[in-house]
Amino acid sequence: MRKRVLVFVAAAVIVATSLAVTLSSGADAAREIVLEVRGMAFYMDGAGAANPVVRARPGELLRVTVRNSDAGLVHDFAVADLGVVLRPVQGGATGSVVFRAPREGGTYLYVCQPHAQMMRGRLEVSRD
């Protein structure tokens, strides 16, 4: 009898765990965009052009991760029009901010606030 109860409890734990995994990896999971900062500029996945255009779909949930490779310099990431601000990221550290792209398409300015004259690019929200 006791063995039967244990089997039931074990089965319930397995079902609950797989349900939690399913829910957390659902359709609303944020898409991660990694921006490496070096030499006072953003690089998508650490490569390509400086201060790249970041593209998103309307209403898309995004996680922007800033990897600061500038030793001794503090950088951040902000989109003023969307109220998006990442806390300052120390040299050698990484920080993330999660936000939802606006439902209307458009072009929004992103900057590193302390270095907004050099570190600035466009967030383009569109369906295509």
In the set 75, 86, 101, 121, which binds Cu ion (CB under 5 A)? Answer: 75
| CB closer to Cu ion, 24 vs 117 | 117
Q: Which stretch binds Cu ion (CB under 5 A): 3-11, 61-69, 101-109, 118-126?
A: 118-126
Structure tokens at 52: 């790249």
Chain center to CA of 99: 7
**Binding status of residue 66 toward Cu ion by CB under 5 A:** no
| CB closer to Cu ion, 119 vs 125 | 119
**Binding status of residue 115 toward Cu ion by CB under 5 A:** yes
| For the chain, counts of helices (H) and of strands (E) | 1, 10
Strands of 78-79's sheet, edge to edge?
54-56, 120-125, 106-111, 78-79, 84-85
Under the rule (CB under 5 A), what is the footprint of Cu ion?
A: 75, 112, 115, 119
